[in-house]
Amino acid sequence: MVSIKTRKPRLHKRLLRNWQLYLLLAPTLFYFLVFKYYPMYGLQIAFKDYLPSLGIWGSEWVGWDHFVRFFQSYQFWEIIENTLVLSLYELAVGFPLPIILALMLNMLISTKYRRFIQTIVYAPHFISVVVLVGILFVFLSPSSGLINHFIVLFGGEPINFMASPEWFKTLYVFSGVWQGTGFAAIIYLAALAGVDPSLHEAAVMDGASKLKRVLHIDIPAIMPVSIIMLILALGNLMNLGFEKALLMQTPLNKESSNIIATYVYEVGIQQAQYSFGTAVGLFNSVINLILLVTVNQIARKVSENSLW
Amino acid sequence: MNPLNRTKGDKAFDAVNVTLLTLGCLLVLYPLYFILIASISDPNRIFAGDVLFLPKGITFDGYERIFSDPGIWNGFKNTFLYSSLGTAISVTLTITAGYALSRTDLVGRNVIMIFLLITLFFHGGMIPTYLVVRDLGMVNTVWAMVIPNAVGLWNVIICRTFFQTSIPKDMLEAAQIDGCNDLKFFSKIVVPLSKPIIAVMVLFHVVTHWNSFFDALIYLNNDSLYPLQLILRNLLIQSEVSSQMIGDIESNQAQLAVAEQIKYGVIIVSSIPLLILYPFLQKYFVKGVMIGSIKG
């Protein structure tokens, strides 16, 4: 047998042949180097006493000091608890709702009405966080807000919602539901659109009710997507919608609105304690990474669906 | 499915389903509707709780005050600048990178993808990023608003998937035989064929820029550079209604009332550009999410 060797061109020749593609790619790679990778290099200031005059490299090492200071600070447990409770609360309410909405929309008989509802429920997604929180403030205003008018109308006492720590988490979660549920349902609707109609027809033949079809056809069909979404959500557990929390924060609700990200902003940007802020942020990222890897591992074992 | 075959149970299911969805719809819609009618109602009647379903004592006073405020206009102007410049930069970077990564003959494609994907799982965080932007001298310049968040990896992946599925390989080969190089192929053939994905990207970025406020909060401290969202925040959340807007009103009570009306009006005014785009936004956003969800 004669084997004919087809020689691959040398690497640098192949690289050269691609040079125009690299040219197209270069600006974006450069962007990632400067704005994503260089900040990773900057993370070392979490272990240093960063002084702008000495630069990242030149500043003095202090080891774990900033972390220890964070763990020992009187706010530590409050911040961790707020971050975790708020995330889990949001996950418990915000994760299942888009799935339920998608299942309900999918079962609507009139496609016209379905499209009409979708148009409406998508709309709040396009409102900015600033406007969303602005709406919360005007609606919940103790003197002029709509909600308090209703409370007074039914004989209650007006509540100063935005100044009450006990209301912060509920307002945060349910305003998010109002804004995001419709849009988040899209991905599940796409998965449901891929279900083979003959499955449903066969089920009808066998006398399955609509509810049974939802339970035994639709829900299994969207399981893989749901699990991926859940992994992503759990991996981001500590990465709350920080902008909204910051906007909703008032001095009076701070004991319940102070989360890791707002704390990083406060100490790192406002008080310019760069090293300490970086240490707190790094702590957060590492926990997220551990969560993501763990959850992915578990998902792979129990369901064969995983990110990698 | 033939609706005639519906059993009693199915009918009950449908009735409950339609009712719940309609209720949900009203819950989403009503706050938006209320803001609209409140913005053109007599502020005293809003305060009294009179305005619920229809505007009462219609007045456009609030809008006149908003539009006579130079701060709002300046905010619009800045936001317009940041949105158009930022979108141009972002879309260019996203499309070019997406195309290059879609080419299977790109040497080192997987290594580059991993290089990019790592940033999804691990990143420097707020402070180190802030320090980079500051050290580059971008603080208090237009660039801080358009460069630091120029590229979203997710968008690059959406574009890559689009190019992979919609630009046939044969086309590239045919063009190469005719002596077309990669740059020419990209600009003369790929871009004209990719209008849908470019439209999706333009809308994504316009909306993001229009709504973004946090970059402005940390990178700008000169109010002449403030985008609309930062002005909105001061007005809506910190209740800093400028004296220019309500200074001519004497009693404190009346000032408070008008300030509330201005808030409703400003929510509408700031959202108008997106409301006009909404029919396109919805369609293209759904498309984008779908393309993105097919393959990671």
pLDDT in tens, B88-103: 999 999 999 999 999 9
Closest CA of chain A from B96, distance in Å: 5
Q: Is A209 close to B10, i.e. CB distance below 8 A?
A: yes
A129 contacts B213? CB cut-off 8 A: yes
Query: What is the crossing angle of helices A219-235 and A165-193, to 10°?
Result: 140
Using an 8 Å CB-CB cutoff, list chain B residues near A128.
Answer: 210-213, 229, 232, 270
- Cross-chain residue pair A39–B31, CB shorter than 8 Å: no
State the helix-helix crossing angle for B153-166 and B109-121, rounded to 10 degrees.
150
pLDDT confidence band for B243 (50 / 70 / 90): low
Cβ neighbour number for residue B129 with a 10 Å cutoff: 21
The confidence score (pLDDT) of residue B296 equals 37
Contacts of B232 in chain A (CB under 8 A): 128, 130-131, 134
Environment class of A181 (CB within 10 Å of its CB; exposed 0-12, middle 13-18, buried 19+) = buried
* pTM, to two decimals: 0.89
Out of B230, B271, B290, closest to residue A190 by CB: B290
Q: Please give, rounded to a whole number of angstroms, the shortest distance from the CA of A1 to a CA of chain B.
A: 31
Residues B151, A31: C-beta atoms closer than 8 Å: yes
Q: How far apart are CA A305 and CA A299, in angstroms?
A: 6
- Contact assignment for A113 to B18 by CB distance below 8 Å: yes
What pLDDT does residue B30 have?
92
Q: SS3 of A273, please?
A: coil
| Cα of A2 to nearest chain B Cα, Å | 29
User: Mind telling me how many Å the CA of B9 is from chain A's nearest CA?
Assistant: 7
Q: Do B21 and A11 touch (CB under 8 A)?
A: no
Confidence at residue A177, expressed as pLDDT on a 0 to 100 scale? 95
What distance in Å separates the CA atoms of residue A149 and residue B38, rounded to the nearest whole number?
14
Of A42, A56, A134, the CB nearest to B237: A134
Torsion-angle region of A190 (φ positive above 0: left; ψ -120 to 50: alpha; else: beta): alpha
Q: For chain B, what is the HEC assignment?
A: CCHHHCCHHHHHHHHHHHHHHHHHHHHHHHHHHHHHHHHCCCHHHHHCCCCCCCCCCCCCHHHHHHHCCHHHHHHHHHHHHHHHHHHHHHHHHHHHHHHHHHCCCCCCHHHHHHHHHHHHHCCCCHHHHHHHHHHCCCCCCCHHHHCCCCCCHHHHHHHHHHHHHHCCHHHHHHHHHCCCCHHHHHHHHHHHHCHHHHHHHHHHHHHHHHHCCHHHHHHCCCHHHCCHHHHHHHHHHCCCCCHHHHCCCCCHHHHHHHHHHHHHHHHHHHHHHHHHHHHHHHHHHHHHHHHHHHCC
Pairing of strands A48-49, A60-61: antiparallel
Residue A273 is predicted with a pLDDT of 93
A117 to B31: CB separation less than 8 angstroms, yes or no? no
pLDDT tens for residues B55-93?
A: 888 888 888 888 888 889 999 999 999 999 999 999 999
**Residue B124 and residue A141: Cβ atoms within 8 Å?**
no
pLDDT (tens digit, 9 = 90+) per residue, B150-168? 999 989 998 998 999 888 8
Whole-angstrom distance, CA of residue A284 vs CA of residue A286: 6
What was the pLDDT predicted at B244?
A: 67
**Residues of chain B found within 8 Å of residue A108, distances taken between Cβ atoms:** 17-18, 21
pLDDT tens string for chain A (308 positions)?
455 555 666 777 777 778 899 999 999 999 999 999 999 999 999 999 888 888 888 888 888 999 999 999 999 999 999 999 999 999 999 999 999 999 999 999 888 999 999 999 999 999 999 999 999 988 888 877 888 888 888 888 888 888 888 999 999 999 999 999 999 998 899 889 888 889 988 988 888 888 889 899 999 999 988 988 888 888 777 777 788 999 999 889 999 999 999 999 999 999 999 999 999 999 999 988 888 888 888 888 877 777 77
Indicate whether B114 pLDDT > 60: yes
Predicted local confidence at residue B295, as pLDDT? 44
pLDDT in the model for residue B129: 94
Packing angle, helices A111-122 and B252-294, rounded to 10: 120
User: Which residue from B28, B126, B232 is facing A131, i.e. has the nearest CB?
Assistant: B232
Inter-chain residue contact A28 with B96, CB threshold 8 Å? yes
Name the minimum distance, in Å, from the CA of B125 to any CA of chain A. 6
Instruction: Look at residue A54 in the predicted model and tell me its pLDDT.
Output: 85
As a whole number of angstroms, the distance between CA A145 and CA A137 comes to 8
